[in-house]
Copies of this chain bind each other. A is one copy, B any other.
Amino acid sequence: MDLAGVFFFAMSGSLLAARRGFDIVGSLMLGACVGLGGGILRDLIIDQGVPNAFASPVYLLPPVLATVLVYRFAASEHRYRNALTTFDAAGMALFCIGGTKIALAAGLNPVAAAVLGLISAVGGGVIRDVVANEDPQLFHPRGLYAIAALLGAGLTSAASSVGWLNAATGLAIAVLVFALRMLSLYYRWEIPLAGRTARRGEPVVTPR
Contact = CB atoms under 8 A, between A and B. Distances in A.
Contacts of A131: 126, 130, 136, 138-139
Interface residues of A, number: 76
A159 interface: no
**Could you say how many copies of this chain the assembly holds?**
3
Contacts of A60: 111, 115
Contact of A25 (B45, B111, B116, B147): B147
Contact of A67 (B15, B147, B194): B194
A21 interface: yes
A46 B50 CA distance: 5
Most buried by B among A30, A135, A141: A141
A70 to B, nearest CB: 6
21 contacts: A15-B195, A18-B196, A19-B195, A20-B200, A22-B140, A23-B192, A26-B138, A29-B122, A29-B146, A40-B45, A44-B44, A54-B112, A57-B111, A60-B115, A70-B194, A75-B195, A77-B203, A78-B203, A126-B131, A130-B131, A132-B135
Interface of A: 14-15, 17-30, 40, 44-47, 49-51, 54-55, 57, 60, 67, 70-71, 74-78, 80, 106, 108-109, 111-112, 115-116, 122, 126, 130-136, 138-141, 144-147, 190-197, 199-204, 207
